[in-house]
Structure 1
C-alpha cells in the first residue's frame, strides 16, 4: 500500500554545548557589544545561585535546626558572585538561611568592595579565619559550603595559598559542597585530586570540566541574548515558565 506522503521525521535536538574556551569571549561580548554591566551580570548570577541552593537544599532536607551556610569567596569574579549569593540567601528570610562568609583575600576592585559592604550592612558575619586543622568544627557548625573561590581562571596545577590549603580542608569535610560555575579545579579538565561537590551551578553554559559531573547540576543562563546563543551554538534547553535557572 502506497502512502501519499512520507511520515514526518522527528526533529533533531542538538546536544547542549560544554564550553572549552569561549566563556570569557561570551562575557566580553555581553559587556562590550550588548552593554551589560559587570555588576548586572554578577547580580544575575549571584541571585540564580541562591535560588539554586534553595531548590537543592530546602529546609526540610537540612539536618540542623538552623540552615547555616558557609560561603567561601575568592578574590575575583567568582568571589563577587559568592557575596551576592550570600546576600540573597540572607534576604530569603522566610527560608531562614544563615550565611557566613569566609573571604581571606579581598580584592581592591571597587565593585568587589561594594558587594562586601552590602553583605556587612545586612549583618552577614565574616570569618577571620577558617579552622583548617579542625575539620569537625566546620562539619558541626554548617549545613553546607558554597565554593565561590576560583572561576574560569582556575588552574589545578597552580592554585596558591590560601586557596590550596582551603581545598585540602574541603576535601575532608562531610557536609555537602556547592560549587559556583566550576568546582575549584581547572575549568576545562576535571581533576581527580579536586573537591567533589554535590551541586554545581553553571553560569552562561556548562564548562568542559562538568561534562561527566554526576551530581545535581543547575544552569543559570536564561538572560543570554538569542544571537549569542546562536553564534556560539550553545543549544541551551528551554527554561520552564519564568524560571531563571533549570536543572540539567
Structure 2
C-alpha cells in the first residue's frame, strides 16, 4: 500500500545543488603585478621561494586529484620547463606519487637554480623516472601536466618547446596547465598561429590569482597557492579565494575581470 502511494505521488529525486563558490569569479592580475606580488611575499611577507613552490605544487597535485582521480588512470606525465613553473611541476610530481599515482617527468631543459636540482633529487629518491622519449611517454600516459611556462612567458616558443607544445596540443591525452596554457600570452591568450594556436587544456589552475588570458579559456578552472594575506590582497586589489577547510584549490569560473 505504501509503495503504491509513493509511486502515485512520484516524489522527485533530490535536486543537486551546486555551491556558489563553484561559479564565482576572481579578479585577474597582470604578469607585472604577479611578479611584484611574489617579490612582496618573499621580501616583506617572510616567505621563501621553496615554500611558495611547495604550496603551488601541492595545489597542482590536488587539482589533478579533483579532475582525474587515480581510478581514472594512475600514469601522469609532468612536462616541466626550466623556470619556476617547471619547479611547481616537479613538486606536484612528488605529491602525486604520495597520492598513489605513478608520475613520470619530462624535463628537456633543466633549470640551473640549485632549488630545481634538489627537487629533482627528491624525485629520484622516490624512483620517479625522468623520461627522454617524449612521443612514447605521451602515448602511454593517462594524464598530462603542462608545467612548461607560466605568467612570465613572453614568446615566441624556442626549441625544443615549440615541438613539445604541438605534440601536446594534438594529443588525445587530457591536460591540466599550470598558471597559463604554455605558448599563451598572459595578457592576450593563445597565439594566432603556430604551436599552441589551438591548445585548449581540459583544466587550468591559476596560482594566487587568475591571469588575464583566462578570458580566452574554456574548461575547468581552479585557483590555488594558498599564501595570500589580506594586506597583500588589498595592495593588488585581489579577492581572497574562499578555500574550504584544508583544501588547497578552489574551482571558479573563467570570466575573470581584467587587469586591475
Give the structure-2-normalised TM-score: 0.81
Q: Alignment partner for residue 26 of structure 2, among 7, 13, 16? A: 16
User: 1:151 Cα deviation (Å)?
Assistant: 1.3
For residue 119 of structure 2, give the secondary structure of its aligned residue in structure 1: helix
Answering whether residue 56 of structure 2 is matched by residue 57 of structure 1, we say: no
Answering whether residue 47 of structure 2 is matched by residue 43 of structure 1, we say: no
User: 1:246 Cα deviation (Å)?
Assistant: 0.6
Output aligned runs, 1:10-159, within 5 Å. Answer: 16-20=26-30, 21-60=32-71, 62=72, 64=73, 67-93=74-100, 97-131=101-135, 137-138=136-137, 140-156=139-155, 158-159=156-157
Output aligned runs, 1:224-243, within 5 Å. Answer: 224-243=228-247
Aligned residues of 1:15 and 1:235 also touching (Cα < 8 A): no
Structure with more contact order per residue of length (Cα contacts < 8 Å, sep ≥ 6): 2
For 2:94 and 2:174, the matched residues in 1 are separated by 20
Q: Which residue of 2 aligns with 1:170?
A: 168
Q: 1:129 to 1:59 in 2, by over 3 A?
A: closer
Q: 1:116 to 1:194 in 2, by over 3 A?
A: farther
Task: Give aligned pairs, total.
Answer: 222
Aligned residues of 2:55 and 2:226 also touching (Cα < 8 A): no
Deviations 1:154-186 (A, max 9, x none): 124x11011111011111101101100111121
Aligned residues of 2:58 and 2:248 also touching (Cα < 8 A): no
Q: Which runs of 4+ in 1 moved over 3 A?
A: 137-140
Deviations 1:193-234 (A, max 9, x none): 052100001101010101242211111143211101111111
For 2:44 and 2:173, the matched residues in 1 are separated by 42
Give the structure-1-normalised TM-score: 0.85
User: 1:241 Cα deviation (Å)?
Assistant: 2.1
Q: 1:74 to 1:139 in 2, by over 3 A?
A: closer
For residue 101 of structure 1, give the secondary structure of its aligned residue in structure 2: strand
Q: Give unpaired runs (5+ residues) of structure 1.
A: 1-13, 132-136
Q: Give unpaired runs (5+ residues) of structure 2.
A: 1-23, 253-260
Q: Which residue of 2 aligns with 1:4?
A: none
Which stretch of structure 1 is more off in the superposition, 42-51 or 222-231? Answer: 222-231
For residue 211 of structure 1, give the secondary structure of its aligned residue in structure 2: helix
Alpha-carbon RMSD: 1.6
Q: Alignment partner for residue 227 of structure 2, among 199, 223, 226? A: 223
Kindly indicate which of the two structures has a greater share of residues assigned to helix. 2
